[in-house]
Amino acid sequence: MTVARQPLLATLRRHGPAYLFVAPALLVLGLFTLAPMLVALALSFTSWNIVGPVKFVGLKNYALLLADPTFAHGLWNTLVYATGSVTFGVIGALALAIALDQKVPGIGAFRALLFLPALMSEVISAMVFQWLYNEQYGLLNYMLSLVGIGAIPWLTSTTWAMVAVVIMGAWVGAAYNAPILLTGLQSISPTLYEAARIDGASRWQEFRHVTLPLLRPFTLYVMVMALIGSFQVFGRIFVLTGGGPVDATMPAVQYIYRVAFTFNQVGYASALSVAMFLLLMALTWIQMRWLKEKEA
């Protein structure tokens, strides 16, 4: 006992201050994020309908979720949304960043204004998008009608609804990520471009062989964060489409919320949460591996 305690005490004495520095943040994260996650993990092996007793059921919930078509559908929607909103969000951000990197008068104002979508609350922005997207009286279809394009069923067709949701996600994503990529662009030394130009590289070759490789750490960061963010999407879609039509845009998180709060199946909802957590961990890991490999 004393043998084991001695090094621990010594460690604490030597590194005590370092632990004191991390303690407040770790206490907060541990108590309010990690502990609830661990409670959810524990609940995932139980059946609990809130008013009744908590019953241990072993791995039953996990067996159930493997055969749950609605959860699979929700995960699929989440993946589609993540892929779409990350791709278009990052491409949009890159286009914005390149334009914002031009040294033209008034560029500061554009840089400031183009970030604003990232500041609007998701509930408010989704309510406004509802108006813009409305098939009958929405601004978007009205504008399209002015240029002779017929009404698009943005929120009333199972395929278009996902498009509408992805566009809204990309609208925020592009604004949010543009400043990050802009900083990345600005960190690239101008001498590299000059060298490329001396070698007779075209604008495209310059972009392809100088800009993109040097921007990679920034794009990697942006894509990983965007993926994590898009997996958590809930309020935005819930307000815009309610997850419909016919569950066509219902993300996994919305299904988990429904199972817990509408169906009162807290144990099963916890198992679904654990599954989603593991899936996102795996995806993030794969994504980082993949993007780093491309770099090498």
Partner 1 sequence: MSAPRKPLAETLPVYLFLGLATIVALVPFGWMFLTAIKSGPEVYRLPPVFWPAEPTLKNFAAAWGTGNFPRLFLNSAIVAGAATLLNLLFDSMAAFAFARLRFPGREALFAVVLATMMLPAVVTIIPLFLIVKSLPALGPGGWLNTYAGIVAPGAASAFGIFLFRQYFDTIPLEIDEAAKIDGAGLWRIYWSMIMPLAAPACVTVAIFTFVVQWNDFLWPLVVATDADMYTLQVGLSYFTTEHSIDWPLLMSAAVIVTLPVLLLYAFLQKYFVGGLAMGASKE
Partner 2 sequence: MAHTFRSFLVGALALALTGAGCAQERRPAGDAPAGGERPAAAVTGAVPPVNPALVGKPATLTVWLAADYASAPLYQDLVAEFEHAYPGVTVKLLGVPWEDMPTKVKTAIIGGRPPDIAHQHPFALGAQGFAEPLDDLWQAWGAERDFLDGPLSDVTWRGKRYGVPLDTNCTILVYNRALLRAAGVAEPGPGYTFTRWREDLRKLTDPAAGRYGIGLTTGSWHTYAFVVANGGDVMAEQQGRVRATFTEPRTVEAISFLTGLGHRDHLGPTPTTKAKDYEDAATLFTAGKVAMIYTGPWDFATIRKNAPDLDFGVTRFPAGMDGQARGSVQGGGGLFVPLGAPNRALAFEWMKWAVSERYAMRLARELGRYPVRRALYADPFFKQDPAVRTFVAALPGARPYKLDAYPQANQAFMDAVKLAFYGGDPAQALATAERVAQLAIDATEAQ
Interacting residues with partner 2 (CB under 8 A): 49-52, 130, 134-137, 153, 155-158, 238-247, 258, 261-264
**Which of partner 2, partner 1, none does 153 bind, CB closer than 5 to 8 A by kind?**
partner 2
User: Using CB under 8 A, which of 1, 5, 32, 204 touches partner 1?
Assistant: 32
Q: Which C-beta is closer to partner 1: that of 16 or that of 158? A: 16
Half-sphere exposure of 30 (CA within 13 A, CB side): 6
Q: Which C-beta is closer to partner 2: that of 20 or that of 246? A: 246
CB of 253 to partner 1, least distance (A): 6
User: Using CB under 8 A, which of 235, 244, 245, 258 touches partner 1?
Assistant: 235
CA gyration radius, the chain: 24
Helices marked H in 51-202? 60-66, 69-100, 107-113, 122-133, 139-146, 158-186, 190-198
**Which of partner 2, partner 1, none does 234 bind, CB closer than 5 to 8 A by kind?**
partner 1
Binding mask 79-108 for partner 1 (x = CB under 8 A): ----------------xx--xx-xxxx-x-
120 lies in the site for partner 1, by CB under 8 A: yes
Q: Which C-beta is closer to partner 2: that of 229 or that of 244? A: 244
Residue 23: phi and psi, rounded to 5, are: -55, -50
Q: Which C-beta is closer to partner 1: that of 38 or that of 158? A: 38
Q: Which C-beta is closer to partner 1: that of 43 or that of 82? A: 43
Interatomic CA distance for residues 229 and 66, integer angstroms: 24
What is the total count of residues that contact partner 1 (CB under 8 A)?
Answer: 90
User: Using CB under 8 A, which of 6, 9, 39, 194 touches partner 1?
Assistant: 39
**Which of partner 1, partner 2, none does 103 bind, CB closer than 5 to 8 A by kind?**
partner 1
Residues whose CB falls within 8 Å of the CB of residue 284, separated by 6 or more in sequence, listed in order: 224, 227, 228
Interatomic CA distance for residues 71 and 256, integer angstroms: 8
Beta strand 46-47 with 55-56 is antiparallel
- From the list 213, 195, 193, 192, the residue with the least C-alpha distance to 203 is 193
122 lies in the site for partner 1, by CB under 8 A: yes
Interatomic CA distance for residues 240 and 171, integer angstroms: 14
225 lies in the site for partner 1, by CB under 8 A: yes
Q: Which C-beta is closer to partner 2: that of 68 or that of 182? A: 68
Run of H or E including 55? strand 55-56
| Alpha carbon separation from 94 to 30, 133, 140 (Å, rounded) | 36, 26, 25
| Residues 155 to 184 in contact with partner 1, rule: CB under 8 A | 171, 175, 179-184
What single-letter amino acid sits at 269? A
| Residues 245 to 264 in contact with partner 1, rule: CB under 8 A | 253, 256-257, 260
**Which of partner 1, partner 2, none does 128 bind, CB closer than 5 to 8 A by kind?**
partner 1
Interatomic CA distance for residues 153 and 164, integer angstroms: 10
What single-letter amino acid sits at 7? P
User: Using CB under 8 A, which of 59, 232, 242, 294 touches partner 1?
Assistant: 232
**Which of partner 1, partner 2, none does 287 bind, CB closer than 5 to 8 A by kind?**
none
| Alpha carbon separation from 141 to 135, 152, 202, 245 (Å, rounded) | 7, 7, 40, 19
